Structure 1
C-alpha cells in the first residue's frame, strides 16, 4: 500500500496527461498548477504568454499621410462620417490598440467638412498637426484649433469634428478605447437632438451655447478660478471643464524655463490639468508636453504606465529596451509599460517638443503605478 500523500504514477501517464489537458482546453479552462518541464504544457509560460504591445514607430510623412491623402479622394462623407487611420500595435493585432490601454488615430479632413454630432464612453482628445482650420464642436463650444492645440472630447459629451476655412487639416486623436473596451463599458450615441418650440428634433450640428473662446476666457488663468462660472456643468461632468488647451501658452511656458536644470529622466515636462482640481484632464488618461533642449538626452526610465509619444517639433531618437527608433515631427512612438526608454535630441541647435499620452491616472487609482530610473552609475533607483 502506498503511503498517504504519495503520487500514483500510472504506466501510461503521458498519454493520460495529454488526454486530461485536451479535456481542460475543450471545456474552456486552464490548468494552473506546478510548472511542468514539458514545453507543451508549461503552464506559467502559457499563462503569461498573452499578446503584449511592443515598442513600435509609425511614420507620418512616409506612411500615414500618403494613405490619408488617397482616402480623401476615395472615401467621401457620404461613405463614412470618419476618415481616420488607427495605429494598431503589431503585438496586439488585430485589436484596435496602439498600446494595451490607448490608441492613436490620424484624421485628415478635406476643406469645410463637418461631421454630425456623436458621443461615446471612451475619453478622447484631438491634437492639431497641420492646418489652422481643424474644428471640434464640443458641448456647445465651437473650437477652431491649429498645430499644437489640444481639444478634449470627454466621456459622454456630444461633439462633432471637421474643418473650416477652406483648407484641409490634419490632427491626431488619443482615446482610452482599449481600456474601456476591456472593461466592457463602450457605448456610442449618434442620435443628437435639440429642443425647438417645445419639440425634440434631430440636428446635424450642435447649436453653440458658449462663446468660441469660453475655455480660455473662463479657465485659462492659472491660479485664478471665476466663482461665477463654477456652477456651470460642462458635458457629463467627468473631465476638465476646459475643453481646449492652446499650444502658444504651453510653448511659452516651456521656453521660459529652458535654462532650468529640469529632470534628468524627463527633461522639461508639463502636464495638462483640470484647472478646477489640479488633477489630470481625464480620470483614465493624462497628457504632457515634453521639451528636450539642444543635445539633451534623458536617462533611462521604466514605468508601469503605457506611453504614446508624438514628436511635434524637431527630430531625434529613442532607445527602448536597447532598440533605436529615429523619429521626426508628427510620428508616433509606442512605449509599452515595463520597457526601459530614453529620448535623445539629435540637434545641437534646436529644441525638441514631444506630445505624450499616458494611462498613469488609471494605474495610480489602482495603486499599480511605479517608476524606476537608472542613475549616472547605472544603478536602478525607484522614482515613484
Structure 2
C-alpha cells in the first residue's frame, strides 16, 4: 500500500472516529468547545455553534400590529382568555418569547368597559398608553386611569389588573423583563386574588387615584410621613408617570445642547433613589428636533424603541429602519446605532426601554462612540 493510500485511509478512519465521537457527545447532551464550523458537519452541533442571537427588527403598527389587534379582539373574548396580547418575537431568538434577549414588548387592545381580573408575577412590567383616554390599571390598591404616552408600573409580585373604562377601544403597549426572569428560572404567576379570604375579580381601592402624583409628582422632595414600601419594594413607589410632564420637561430644554450620542434624552427614575424604576430595566423619552442627527454609539445594552409622536430613522450598522408612531424597533446590543429625524418641521418623541440596569449590576455595561472623524472612543 502506497504512502498516499495509507494517508487517505488514515484520514477516512479519523473522520469516522470524529463522527462517532460527535454523535456520542450530542447524545449525552454535551458540546465540544473546540468545534469549528469548518470541520464539524454534525447537524445538531453545527446548530449549537450558531446559537441564538437577537437581530435588529422592526414591527410596523399600521401594517403589522393594528389589524391583528382588532382581529384578535373580535375573535378572542375575555371568556376565552384574559391574556389577549400580542408578544413581539425577535426572529433571531425564536422560539423564545423575547423581543431582545432580556425583554419583550407586547401590545393589547382592550374593548370598551373591559376589565381583566387581578394577577401578579415575578416579572416586572410597564404599560404605556397608545390610544384611548381611559385605559385602566389597578396596582396594589391604586386605581390608575391613563392616556396616550402615560407610563404605568406594575412591579414584580404586585397584584394588578388591566382594562378600559372608556366607551371606545383602547390600545396599549407593555414591556416586561420576562425573558431575563425566565432565564434565571424565577418566573412565577398567580391569579387567585383574594381579600380577607374571599376571591375577588377586582382589587378594592386603598389609595386615591391621584396618589402617585400627589406624593411623588413634584420630584426632588420626599415625604417622610408615608410608607414608601408598596407591594414588595425594590422598585419605584411612584406607579404612574404622565406624558404631559415628561413632554413639558423636554420642551423646556428644546434649545439645550444635546448629548452627541443620545440627543435630548430623559430617564424615568425612582423618586426615592434617583435611579431607574426597576433593577432590571429602565425607560427613557428621547426628543429629536427637526433635522437632528446623533453620532454612532455601540453599547452592550439592548433597546426597545416606540415613537409616540413624529417619525425617526434609526441606522443600525448599515441598515436604516424608518419608525412611525406606535411602531416597535428591537435594537440589540453590540451594534452601531444612530438616530436621524428626517423632518425639517416635526419633532419626534421616542419611548425607549433598556436592560441597562441589569448589565450595570453585573458589570457588563460598555459603551463606545464614534466622533465626527470616525475615531472610536470609549464612553463607559
Which TM-score applies when normalising by structure 2?
0.94
Unaligned runs of 5+ in 1: 1-8
Structure 1 residues 157 and 57: alpha-carbon distance in aligned structure 2, compared to 1, 3 A threshold: same
Structure 1 residues 259 and 34: alpha-carbon distance in aligned structure 2, compared to 1, 3 A threshold: same
In structure 2, C-alpha distance between the alignment counterparts of 1:367 and 1:222, rounded to whole Å: 29
Report the equivalent of 2:320.
Answer: 324
Partner of 1:325: helix, strand, or coil?
A: strand
Report the equivalent of 1:132.
Answer: 133
Unaligned runs of 5+ in 2: 1-8
Partner of 2:112: helix, strand, or coil?
A: coil
Report the equivalent of 1:352.
Answer: 348
Report the equivalent of 2:16.
Answer: 15
Partner of 1:333: helix, strand, or coil?
A: strand
In structure 2, C-alpha distance between the alignment counterparts of 1:183 and 1:140, rounded to whole Å: 29
Question: What are the superposed Cα offsets for residues 166-187 of structure 1, whole Å, 9 maximum, x if unpaired?
Answer: 2211100000001111111100
Structure 1 residues 250 and 339: alpha-carbon distance in aligned structure 2, compared to 1, 3 A threshold: same
Partner of 1:101: helix, strand, or coil?
A: coil
Partner of 2:246: helix, strand, or coil?
A: helix
Measured after TM superposition, the shift of residue 124 of structure 1 is: 0.3
1:226 aligns with 2:223: yes
Structure 1 residues 53 and 169: alpha-carbon distance in aligned structure 2, compared to 1, 3 A threshold: same
Measured after TM superposition, the shift of residue 33 of structure 1 is: 3.0
1:24 aligns with 2:25: yes
Measured after TM superposition, the shift of residue 43 of structure 1 is: 12
Report the equivalent of 1:95.
Answer: 96
1:206 aligns with 2:207: no
Partner of 2:175: helix, strand, or coil?
A: strand
Which TM-score applies when normalising by structure 1?
0.93
Partner of 2:80: helix, strand, or coil?
A: coil
For 1:299, which of 295, 310, 315 is the aligned residue?
A: 295
Question: What are the superposed Cα offsets for residues 153-212 of structure 1, whole Å, 9 maximum, x if unpaired?
Answer: 0100000000002221110000000111111110000010001xxxx1000000000000
Point out 4+ residue stretches in structure 1 off by more than 4 angstroms: 34-37, 41-48
Question: What are the superposed Cα offsets for residues 85-121 of structure 1, whole Å, 9 maximum, x if unpaired?
Answer: 1001111112111011000000100100000000000
In structure 2, C-alpha distance between the alignment counterparts of 1:351 and 1:17, rounded to whole Å: 61
Report the equivalent of 2:6.
Answer: none
Contact 2:31 2:45 in 1 (8 A): no
Question: What are the superposed Cα offsets for residues 53-80 of structure 1, whole Å, 9 maximum, x if unpaired?
Answer: 1100001111111111111211111111
Partner of 2:225: helix, strand, or coil?
A: helix
In structure 2, C-alpha distance between the alignment counterparts of 1:51 and 1:224, rounded to whole Å: 45
In structure 1, C-alpha distance between the alignment counterparts of 2:295 and 2:42, rounded to whole Å: 40
Contact 1:269 1:290 in 2 (8 A): yes
Contact 1:311 1:352 in 2 (8 A): yes
In structure 2, C-alpha distance between the alignment counterparts of 1:74 and 1:220, rounded to whole Å: 40
Measured after TM superposition, the shift of residue 82 of structure 1 is: 2.0
1:252 aligns with 2:248: yes
In structure 2, C-alpha distance between the alignment counterparts of 1:139 and 1:106, rounded to whole Å: 23
In structure 2, C-alpha distance between the alignment counterparts of 1:314 and 1:299, rounded to whole Å: 20
Report the equivalent of 2:259.
Answer: 263
In structure 1, C-alpha distance between the alignment counterparts of 2:358 and 2:215, rounded to whole Å: 28
For 1:309, which of 293, 305, 318 is the aligned residue?
A: 305
Contact 1:35 1:44 in 2 (8 A): no
Measured after TM superposition, the shift of residue 261 of structure 1 is: 0.9
Measured after TM superposition, the shift of residue 279 of structure 1 is: 0.9
Query: Equivalences for 1:1-384 in 2 at 5 Å?
Result: 12-33=13-34, 35=36, 37-40=38-41, 48-195=49-196, 200-229=197-226, 231-384=227-380
In structure 2, C-alpha distance between the alignment counterparts of 1:202 and 1:233, rounded to whole Å: 25
Partner of 2:41: helix, strand, or coil?
A: helix
Structure 1 residues 42 and 253: alpha-carbon distance in aligned structure 2, compared to 1, 3 A threshold: same
In structure 2, C-alpha distance between the alignment counterparts of 1:288 and 1:211, rounded to whole Å: 27
In structure 2, C-alpha distance between the alignment counterparts of 1:289 and 1:165, rounded to whole Å: 26
How many residue pairs get aligned? The number is: 371
Q: Which has the larger displacement, 102-111 or 30-39?
A: 30-39
Measured after TM superposition, the shift of residue 36 of structure 1 is: 7.7
